[in-house]
């Protein structure tokens, strides 16, 4: 168990993570997606893909109902300067060792809620929430997964929302320990002031 001090964490406020809260997610992502992401140089972001943005980045790029709760990973530049995209074959690794708490439907695929044995001094627990995924068929709630273990692929965008490109949404949040899984929804992540969302970019070092 890792103990993070409460100083600087305000209930319901967004905040940057402590400096030592770092994930090797990108290393695992690139290693697991060769040759698809071979030569990866950097992500290419529209402002609407970023944490806390009020913009959308597809279609008419309308204003969001609430600020963006995480980071959208879609387009990247390779070492030759070409812009490429993730797709339904892109494998998604676990950011940290943890337990699958919930798998729920979202508007593009399924969301995976992964809890980690990382806590604030006040008892809030770190979660990674992945949006728009296609979980492995073997993956079930209360499964334990290792850091870097593949848990899903990105959901193919079709049907009701074909205008939205395939992408991975990733959120980090400090969630009070003992909060019931049925309370974990995208709506509550944005509105429940007991939950503190974290900008994913410093955690992922991107």
Domain map of the chain by residue range? Answer: 2-204
DSSP state of 155: P
Could you report the per-residue pLDDT of 138-180, keeping only the tens digit for each?
999 999 999 999 999 999 876 555 588 999 999 999 999 889 9
Q: What is the pTM of this model?
A: 0.88
DSSP state of 95: S
Contact 133, 110 (CB under 8 A): yes
One of 2.30.42.10, 3.30.70.360, 1.20.1090.10, 2.70.70.10 is the CATH number of 2-204, namely 2.70.70.10
- From 152, 118, 37, 52, select the one nearest 84 (Cα to Cα): 37
Could you report the per-residue pLDDT of 105-141, keeping only the tens digit for each?
998 999 999 999 999 888 899 999 999 999 999 999 9
């Amino acid at each position: 168990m890792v103990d993070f001090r409460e100083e600087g964490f305000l209930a319901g406020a967004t905040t940057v993570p402590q400096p030592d809260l770092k994930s090797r997610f990108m290393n695992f992502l690139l290693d697991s997606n060769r040759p698809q992401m071979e030569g990866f140089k950097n992500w290419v972001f529209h402002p609407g893909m970023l944490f806390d943005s009020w913009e959308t980045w597809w279609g008419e790029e309308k204003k969001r109902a609430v600020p963006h709760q995480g980071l959208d990973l879609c387009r990247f530049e390779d070492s030759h300067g070409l812009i490429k995209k993730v797709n339904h074959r892109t494998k998604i690794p676990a950011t940290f060792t943890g337990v699958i708490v919930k798998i729920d439907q979202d508007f593009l695929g399924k969301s995976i809620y992964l809890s980690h044995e990382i806590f604030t001094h006040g008892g809030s627990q770190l979660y990674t929430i992945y949006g728009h995924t296609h979980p492995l068929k073997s993956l079930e709630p209360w499964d334990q997964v290792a850091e870097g273990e593949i848990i899903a692929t990105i959901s193919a965008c079709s049907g009701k929302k074909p205008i939205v490109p395939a992408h991975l949404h990733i959120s980090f949040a400090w969630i009070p320990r003992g909060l019931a899984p049925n309370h974990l929804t995208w709506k509550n992540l944005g509105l429940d002031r007991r939950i503190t969302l974290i900008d994913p970019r410093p955690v992922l070092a991107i």
